[in-house]
């Protein structure tokens, strides 16, 4: 993070009508109707807290508290006032709108750290905040026509937690870039190729056999062995039979696939 993101910015508390408030279009997670409905059911004005708002050209943008805002609108109506911590847009560090959004996103992540956001919500906010690891993950996936997303589709990776966990380990960025290239060479944009267990299993295999694996051979062998769904099926059967985790089973099955027909430079059998 840059020093600008940690710069203290003065704010002031104001009572604003709910009708004056709009959700920030960038610095927010995806809206969850189910969560908003739960807040309505247990709505307590005394426990409402303070909404965090940035004022830009007379518009008040909520960057922390969109679900509480939605619940309050339903329970209290738009003519009720709530307490807000208001930051002035011009006081936010940065010369461009992206700079200012990055500062807000960074602080939004700090506020949300203990609130159990989904990994994909954290990732999208980290990208806005220009988090180094999140931008690295985005860049690597983009090189192969892939992106992190919420719903499984061609070219969409629905495993934000696995991507982050792999990339944040010591030497993890190199490992992450490597396994994405292997899996993309083998199966292209097939979303099953980037499921949590496949990513973690491939990372485990590469870490254990660092320097021994011919990545192109592994990708070719995986492609010839069938699709990623078949790999996962074999891994789940192996895990059930041996009692190991599916991640370890993926690594074991990949080892067997790599070694098939290989007389020299075979990988050690997974134990």
Among candidate residues 117, 148, 170, the one where a domain is terminated: 117
* Total domains present in the chain: 2
Q: In terms of domains, do 223 and 187 share one?
A: yes
Q: How confident is the model at residue 3 (pLDDT cuts 50, 70, 90)?
A: very low
Q: In terms of domains, do 142 and 104 share one?
A: no
Q: In terms of domains, do 102 and 151 share one?
A: no
Is residue 264 included in any domain, yes or no? no
Is residue 18 included in any domain, yes or no? yes
Please tell me the distance from the alpha carbon of residue 135 to that of residue 4, in angstroms, as a whole number. Answer: 18
Q: In terms of domains, do 136 and 254 share one?
A: yes
Q: In terms of domains, do 44 and 107 share one?
A: yes
Q: In terms of domains, do 9 and 94 share one?
A: yes
pLDDT tens column, 117-135: 889 999 999 999 999 999 9
Q: How confident is the model at residue 115 (pLDDT cuts 50, 70, 90)?
A: low
User: What is the percent of the chain where pLDDT is above 90?
Assistant: 83
Q: In terms of domains, do 113 and 148 share one?
A: no
Q: In terms of domains, do 56 and 141 share one?
A: no
Is residue 245 included in any domain, yes or no? yes
Is residue 268 included in any domain, yes or no? no
Q: In terms of domains, do 81 and 180 share one?
A: no
Position 171 scores a pLDDT of 93
Please tell me the distance from the alpha carbon of residue 267 to that of residue 239, in angstroms, as a whole number. Answer: 20
Q: What is the dihedral of CA 155, 126, 105, 66, to 10 degrees?
A: 50
Q: In terms of domains, do 7 and 98 share one?
A: yes
Q: In terms of domains, do 110 and 153 share one?
A: no
Q: Where are the beta strands (DSSP E) in the chain?
A: 11-17, 21-23, 51-56, 59-64, 81-88, 147-148, 156-157
Is residue 122 included in any domain, yes or no? no
* Residue 50, both tokens: 């303070």
What is the reported pTM? 0.86
* Residue 269, pLDDT above cutoff 50: yes
Among candidate residues 69, 84, 117, the one where a domain is terminated: 117
Is residue 89 included in any domain, yes or no? yes
pLDDT tens column, 136-172: 999 999 999 999 999 999 999 999 999 999 999 999 9
pLDDT tens column, 206-221: 999 988 999 999 999 9
Among candidate residues 84, 117, 150, the one where a domain is terminated: 117
Phi, psi dihedrals of residue 114, rounded to the nearest 5°: -105, 15
Domain range spanning residue 248? 132-259
Q: In terms of domains, do 67 and 184 share one?
A: no
Please tell me the distance from the alpha carbon of residue 251 to that of residue 97, in angstroms, as a whole number. Answer: 44
């Amino acid at each position: 993070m840059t020093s600008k993101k940690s710069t203290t910015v003065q704010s002031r508390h104001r009572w604003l009508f709910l009708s004056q408030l709009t959700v920030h279009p960038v610095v927010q997670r995806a809206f969850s109707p189910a969560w908003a409905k739960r807040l309505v059911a247990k709505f307590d004005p005394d426990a409402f807290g303070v909404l965090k708002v940035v004022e830009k050209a007379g518009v008040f943008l909520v960057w922390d508290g969109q679900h509480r805002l939605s619940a309050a609108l339903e329970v209290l109506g738009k003519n009720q006032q709530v307490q807000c911590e208001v930051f002035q847009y011009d006081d936010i560090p940065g010369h461009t709108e992206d700079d200012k959004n990055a500062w807000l996103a960074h602080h939004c992540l700090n506020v949300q750290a203990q609130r159990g956001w989904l990994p994909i919500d954290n990732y999208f906010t980290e990208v806005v905040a220009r988090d180094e690891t999140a931008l690295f993950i985005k860049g690597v996936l983009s090189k192969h026509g892939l992106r992190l997303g919420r719903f499984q589709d061609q070219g969409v990776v629905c495993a934000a937690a696995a991507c982050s966990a792999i990339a944040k380990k010591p030497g993890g960025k190199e490992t992450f870039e490597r396994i994405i290239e292997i899996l993309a060479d083998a199966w292209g944009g097939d979303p099953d190729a980037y499921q949590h267990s496949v990513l973690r299993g491939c990372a485990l295999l590469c870490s254990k056999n660092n320097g021994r694996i011919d990545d192109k051979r592994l990708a070719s062998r995986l492609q010839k062995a069938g699709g990623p769904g078949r790999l996962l099926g074999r891994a789940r059967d192996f895990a059930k039979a041996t009692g190991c985790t599916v991640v370890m089973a993926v690594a074991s099955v990949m080892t067997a696939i790599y070694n098939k027909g290989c007389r020299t430079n075979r990988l050690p059998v997974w134990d």
